[in-house]
A and B are shown apart, each in its own frame.
Chain A
C-alpha cells in the first residue's frame, strides 16, 4: 500500500515537473514572440502606435474613436474635430513626441446634405500646419488643393492653453468678449497664420494659383473661372486688382 502511494506520488511529481517545464516554455515563448518579428497574413486593429525604442510615440494609425488628442509640449489637448466630424487616419509626432502632422479623412451624410474632408498636413515645429494637401466639402461647395501657410514663431501651446481656458468658461457674453480679446491680442502680436500660396480649385468653381503676402493678402492671382475666363491679376494690399492680363489683350 505504502509502496503504491509512493509510486503514485513520484508519478505526480514527475507530471508536475513536466507541466511546469511546459508552462515555462509556453510563457517564455509568448514573450519572445512579442519581442521579435511577427508574421501575420491579415490583422484587424483599431489603432497602431509606432514608437521609438524609448517609447516615444512617432505615428498612430487609427479609427476615429482612438484618434489621439493633440500633443503639444508633451501635454494632450482635446482640440480636435468637433461638430460630429469623425476623422480617421495617421497622426505624425516629432522626435520629442509632439504632433507634427497627419493624414486624416472624413465623409458622411448629414441632416442637411453631405460633409467631407481629407488632409495631408505637415506642421511647422511647435505650431500648426505649414503645408497641406486637402479637400473639403459642405453641401456641394467644394475646395481642393495645396496650401502653404506661414505660422507665428510663438509655440501653439500659448494658443492651446488660452483656448482651453476660454472653452471652460460658461457660455454667455463674458465668454464671447474673452474670445474676441484673445483674437485681437493674437492679431496685435502677429501670431495669426497667413496663407502664402494656394493652388487648386475654389468653392466658386474657379481653378487658381494664388500667391499672397506675409499678412495672407493675395497679391498675384492666376485664375480660370467657372465659365472658362482666364486672367492674371496683380492686387494691392487692399485687395484691389491693379493690373489684369487676359487672352484678349493680345492686340495691346
Chain B
C-alpha cells in the first residue's frame, strides 16, 4: 500500500475506479456466461418461428419431424429414402424406434387457376407398412369427403412395393410414366402388396353420411347410409357390389 501510494498516478480515486472496473467486468462476464449456458441447456422462448423441428432420440434417431411443406422429409424406411406418392406436405411425420416412418399428419389447401384443392390427413401406419387407421378430409372444388378409415395391409414390408415404384417416380412425366406406373400398381395388386380399406365412417362426395364395412378385398358388404335427400337405409351387398338386402323405415 505504501509503495503504491508513493507512485504519483496511484491516487486513491483511481485505484477505486480500477477495482470497480474489475468487479463490473467480472460480474458481466458471469452474466454473459450464464446467458450462454442457459441458451445451450434449456433455453426459454416466448415464441419461435421455425421451418422444421426434428425431435430426436439421444442417439440421433428421428422420432418426429414438424415442418413446412418445403422442408418436409421424404419417406424413410429401414434407413432408405423414397419419394412420397403425393407431394410432401406441411405437418408432422412420426418415426418408430428404428427411425422408420410410422405415421403422420399433413394438411394443404390452395386455389390455383380458380380450382380449390384441399386435404388433411392424420395417419398411423402398420409396422413396416402404409397407413392402417386415419382421419381424412379431401376436397376438389366443393366435392368433399371426410371421415375415419381403417385399412388392412400385407405382412410384407412396404419397401417391396416402394422399390418397384421408386424408379418410375424418377421418370419424366408423360404417357410412358403413367403406363408403367399403372402396370406396377396392377401387378402389386395381384401380388397382394396394396391392402384393403375395411372401414369408412364419414361423409362422401355424393353428400351421404355413411358407415361402410368392407371385406378383405375392399368390397363394401354392409352399409348404413343417410343420403343427400335424407333417406336412411341399411344395405347388405354381394361380392359384385349388388345390394342384396335393404332395410329402411318403411319395410
Asked if B194 lies at the interface with its beta carbon under 8 angstroms from chain A, I say no
Q: Please, how many angstroms separate the alpha-carbon atoms of A96 and B202 in the complex?
A: 34
Is B165's beta carbon under 8 Å from chain A? no
The answer to whether B64 and A89 have CB atoms under 8 Å apart is yes
In the complex, the chain A residue whose C-beta lies closest to that of B201 is A199
Which of B108-116, B168-176, B179-187, B232-240 has 4 or more CB atoms under 8 Å from chain A? B232-240
- Type the 1/0 row for B234-248, where 1 means its CB is closer than 8 Å to any CB of A: 101111000011010
* Interface assignment of B141: CB less than 8 Å from any CB of chain A: no
CB pair B46 A118 closer than 8 Å: no
Chain A binding site: helix, strand, loop or mixed by DSSP? Answer: strand
Q: Which residues of A contact B24 (CB under 8 A)?
A: 20
- Is there contact, CB below 8 Å, between A43 and B54? yes
Q: How large is the interface on B (under 10, 10 to 19, 20 to 34, 35 or more residues)?
A: 35 or more
Residues of B with C-beta under 8 A to A40? 48-51
**Residue in A closest to B60 when the chains form the complex, CB atoms:** A44
Q: Measured between alpha carbons, how far is A13 from B44 in the docked complex, in Å? A: 36
By the criterion CB–CB under 8 Å, are A31 and B35 in contact?
yes
Closest to B43 in A: A34
Provide the bound-state CA to CA distance between A231 and B64, in Å.
Answer: 41
Measured between beta carbons, the chain B residues less than 8 angstroms from A61 are: 53, 55, 64, 66
Bound complex: CA A249 to CA B18 (Å)? 102
B54 & A200 in contact (Cβ 8 Å cutoff)? no
Question: In A1-55, which residues have CB < 8 Å from any B CB?
Answer: 2, 5-6, 9, 13, 16-17, 19-20, 23-24, 26-27, 30-31, 33-48
Q: How far is the CB of A150 from chain B (nearest CB, A)?
A: 20
Asked whether, in the complex, the Cβ of B211 is within 8 Å of the Cβ of A209, the reply is yes
Q: Contacts of B8 on A, CB cut-off 8 Å?
A: 2
Closest Cβ–Cβ distance, residue A133 to chain B (whole Å)? 6
Q: Which residues of A contact B219 (CB under 8 A)?
A: 228
Q: Say if the beta carbon of B163 comes within 8 Å of chain A.
A: no
Chain A, 140-185, CB within 8 A of any chain B CB: 140, 142, 144-146
**Known contacts A41-B50, A199-B199, A199-B201; is A116 also within 8 Å of B28 by CB?**
no
- How many A-B residue pairs have C-beta atoms within 8 angstroms? Tell me: 243
Q: Is A86 an interface residue (CB 8 A)?
A: yes
Q: How far is the CA of A105 from the CA of B132 in the complex (A)?
A: 13
Q: Which residues of B contact A205 (CB under 8 A)?
A: 152, 216
Name the A residues within 8 Å of B18 (CB-CB).
Answer: 13
The CA-CA distance from A21 to B251 in the complex, in Å, is 89
The distance from the CB of B109 to the nearest CB of chain A, in whole angstroms, is 22
0/1 string, B144-182, CB within 8 A of A gives 1? 000010111001000000000000000000000000000
Give the nearest-CB partner of B28 in chain A: A23
In the bound complex, do residue B213 and residue A41 qualify as a contact, i.e. CB atoms below 8 Å apart? no
17 A-B contacts (beta carbon < 8 Å): A5-B9, A30-B32, A42-B52, A43-B54, A46-B58, A48-B55, A88-B63, A88-B64, A105-B124, A116-B126, A140-B155, A144-B133, A144-B151, A200-B133, A209-B201, A245-B236, A250-B236
- List 12 other contacts, CB 8 Å, given A27-B35, A105-B102, A135-B133: A9-B9, A9-B14, A23-B25, A36-B46, A37-B49, A40-B48, A43-B53, A65-B57, A107-B96, A116-B126, A224-B215, A230-B213
